[in-house]
Chains A and B, each alone.
Chain A
Amino acid sequence: MNISISIPLQEENILLLENPKDAREVVKKLSELLEVKGDVKPSFFEAVWERERNMPTGLELEGDIHAAIPHADIEHVNNPSVALAILGNPVNFKCMVDPEKELKVRLVFLLAMSEPKKQVEMLQQVATILQDSQLVKRLSVSSSAKEVMELIGLMN
């Protein structure tokens, strides 16, 4: 599969959160970011959170920094986009393949996909980032959205 060069992640869709309270707060802040821009409908957050509660999206990575890819059904999305939160302190997300397992997550990619089959590329690009443990480590200690963009840009 050909991975195209740039992830549709814009600098203004990156949040650095020092000390988030919990997973819900992180997902809410990311959802609000996309809602303000008109990329998602007001119903998006509740749909994402409801889904997360029933079908968690925590992903266990190589090292001890883990990620989550919350998302919801396409009817709540206007424009496909991605928002990323990098957390100073981890929050717990349940593991996608083993929901009894809690993962300490520091990278949260909120995925707003309007046509799932086409947005496979977006997911593939997120997966590519997650599979690079050096990159994951560096992202987790990034001090600015600009730095995050540069790190992801370097991956190409």
Chain B
Amino acid sequence: MNQQRVKRILVACGTAIATSTLVAVLIREEMEKRGIKVETRQCKATEVPSYAQDVDLIVSTTPVPTNLGKPVIQTLAFLTGVGKEDVLNQIEKALKEE
């Protein structure tokens, strides 16, 4: 199956842009290692509803709405390392399913 379109991931965190920047970079790097090209966008948790429609997946370090019609992964794995492999697998799976 040839996925032509570059996948888009919305990365959200509280208010500071730092956490979502770090997570976005790590996701891009890890997905590239798996041969998946992704684009990331960052926003605050409160802004997620505004940006959700243009992306394939939402990854957040804080609670965000899960009823926006897009898969949501809420995780600290990119900060703490706990469950990181699982989360990467989940992300890969979610991107392949779109």
Contact = CB atoms under 8 A, between A and B. Distances in A.
Q: A and B: real partners?
A: yes
Interface of A: 1, 51, 55, 57, 59-62, 69, 71, 73-74, 95-99, 111, 113, 116-117, 119-120, 122-124, 127, 130-131
A127 B61 contact: no
A62 B21 CA distance: 23
A97 B62 contact: yes
Given A1-B26, A73-B15, A96-B62, A117 B79 contact: no
Contacts of B79: 59, 69, 123, 127, 130
Contacts of B6: none
Given A116-B21, A120-B21, A51 B14 contact: yes
A131 B25 CA distance: 17
Interface residues of B, number: 24
B21 A1 contact: no
Contacts of B82: 60-62
Nearest to A111: B18
A116 B21 CA distance: 8
A131 to B, nearest CB: 3
A130 B16 contact: no
Contacts of A120: 18, 21-22, 25
Nearest to A63: B82
Contact of B15 (A1, A55, A127): A55
Interface string B49-86: 00000000000111100000000001110111110000
Contacts of B74: 97-98
Contacts of A119: 18
8 contacts: A55-B45, A73-B16, A95-B76, A111-B18, A117-B18, A122-B18, A123-B79, A130-B80
